Amino acid sequence: MGTTARATREGGPVTDPVPPYARVPVLSAAAALAVVLLATANRYGFHRDELYFRMLDPAWGYVDQPPLIPLLANAMTELVADEPWAVRLPAIVAVVASTLVAAALTRELGGGALAQGLCAWTFAFASFPLVAGHVLVTTSTDLLAWMVASWFAIRALLRDDARWWLAVGVAVGLATYGRLLIPWWVLGLVVGLAVVGPRRVLRSGWFWAGGAVAAVVGMPNLVYQVVNDFPQLEMGAALAENNADEVRVMMWPFLFILFPAIWVVGSVSLWRRPEWRVLRAFVVAFVVVLVLTYVGGAQFYYPAGLLAVLFAAGWVPAAAWLARSSVAVRVAIGAALTVYAAVSVAVSLPVIPVSALTSTPVPDMNTTVVDQIGWPTYVRQVADVWETVPSDERERAAIFTSNYGEAGAIDRYGPALGLPTPYSGQNALHEQARPPSDTETVVVVGGQFAQARMLFEGCEVVGRLANGTDVDNEEEGLPIGVCRGPLHPWPELWDELQHFD
């Protein structure tokens, strides 16, 4: 059994025992999550982002993200299988690990077996971890990174052991390889320490040494951004332009959907409990990230990493209260959490038959679901249009897609149908390749067909994308056309077709 230095009301540390790790309830929750994610991993199909990641050539970085997730997608495709379940294995591992860290956070804060078990089970079957574990996206590893960094920082503060800031630095540096959002966590915590303390941390050499470690570990990502004129800022602006109005409305109700509202208890307790006084900075950090999310308007789920920390903290007082409550109260709370978990599974995972999806609110609640449906069908329809191009004309023909999902789908399913490697002007695919300079005919897929009309001598719509399931996603009903006679040289055309979103 370890010990933790906890602050008294006067700020001096006292040493309390850390409760034993509740192996059975915590490990069983993690195992149950792994089984559920593995069992559903191959239903529906690839998500559009996964199709994009597996198509990207390995690189030190991309205009829209760091290198880790595409590297993992490529590795799983090459070494395991070119199937959704294989590409999703890293996401499953990351979220199962996050469940273990959530319980470790609760333990670090003094939670016993009941608190740790409740935290692990409710975390494992909360909406956000289920989505992050089902689809390999940058969120999958970022959730784990924020939680690990927070766990180490809490150890540094509660145990009054500044050496843990070096571990925080390693976690922050590694996080930059998956997503460049961790600086928000850093900024939030620094603001929190400056505003509510303990301010002595900001004078600690260990704290700044941890910052130096983070900078060294994450240096390749910083170098990439500097050399390429900070493309992440341009990408963030593009996301905000497309999403800001919706994000600023959705982020508030989704705080109570991503995780059960136990995080509210955690926020209040971190602020009010004398023994947690040194952790008040986490509440301020959460507010800072909320403000940045609202102002930035890129994605509504950006606060989820700190939300998970508040959630883990909330189970310490919540479990103590439940232990003192009547049987009726325990049954009611248990029933409510069970209903939440069941709804989370239904909304977050592909458990509803595709034929029944349109009769449920799931497509409106979770767009990752509809983005997994129809890709092989769409590619067959593109192949049908490609066949209408005379064989002698195909020697100087190409396929252009309006977004990376379409490109990734053709890259995955097209070779079996005789389709060439597609091109797209979206995000990193614009830099990866463009049609040869002598290309005269282009099969254009998706929403940029209207733009293509202005860039070629003639264009005609030959077909439209239809998945045949009545599921309305981003592709449904979009045109497939053939354009001939580019009006400008391809380098110039390619700049016109570039877009970030």
Nearest Cα neighbor of 6 from 210, 154, 162, 197 is 154
CA distance 412 to 193: 48
Asked if 331 and 396 sit in the same domain, the reply is no
441-445 and 397-401 beta bridge pairing: parallel
User: What is the span of the domain harbouring residue 454?
Assistant: 375-496
CA distances from 224 to 20, 61, 220, 357, 475 (A): 44, 6, 6, 42, 33
Asked if 98 and 203 sit in the same domain, the reply is yes
Asked if 80 and 218 sit in the same domain, the reply is yes
* Residues 133 and 94 sit within 8 Å (Cβ to Cβ): yes
CB atoms within 10 A of CB 447: 16
**Burial class of residue 463, CB neighbours in 10 A (0-12, 13-18, 19+):** middle
| In-domain check, residue 481 | yes
Regarding pTM above 0.85, the answer is yes
Asked if 397 and 262 sit in the same domain, the reply is no
Asked if 397 and 318 sit in the same domain, the reply is no
Asked if 349 and 403 sit in the same domain, the reply is no
| Residues contacting residue 220 through CB under 8 Å, at least 6 positions apart | 60, 61
Asked if 264 and 405 sit in the same domain, the reply is no
Asked if 107 and 226 sit in the same domain, the reply is yes
* Residues 57 and 432 sit within 8 Å (Cβ to Cβ): yes
Which amino acid is present at 10?
Answer: E
Asked if 208 and 327 sit in the same domain, the reply is yes
Paired tokens of 46: 């690839």
| In-domain check, residue 501 | no
Paired tokens of 338: 């069970």
Which amino acid is present at 414?
Answer: G
Residue-level pLDDT, tens digit, the chain, 501 residues: 445 444 443 344 444 678 999 999 999 999 999 999 999 999 999 999 999 999 999 999 999 999 999 999 999 999 999 999 999 999 999 999 999 999 999 999 999 999 999 999 999 999 999 999 999 999 999 999 999 999 999 999 999 999 999 999 999 999 999 999 999 999 999 999 999 999 999 999 999 999 999 999 999 999 999 998 888 888 888 888 888 888 899 899 999 999 999 999 999 999 999 999 999 999 999 999 999 999 998 889 999 999 999 999 999 999 999 999 999 999 999 999 999 999 999 999 999 999 999 999 998 889 899 999 999 999 999 999 999 999 999 999 999 999 999 999 999 999 999 999 999 999 999 999 999 999 999 999 999 999 999 999 999 999 999 999 989 999 999 999 999 999 999 999 999 999 998
Nearest Cα neighbor of 146 from 18, 280, 355, 307 is 307
Q: How many domains does the chain have?
A: 2
Asked if 284 and 397 sit in the same domain, the reply is no
| In-domain check, residue 308 | yes
Asked if 417 and 270 sit in the same domain, the reply is no
Asked if 276 and 411 sit in the same domain, the reply is no
| In-domain check, residue 111 | yes
Nearest Cα neighbor of 183 from 55, 92, 415, 191 is 191
| In-domain check, residue 457 | yes
CA distance 358 to 361: 7
CB atoms within 10 A of CB 457: 10
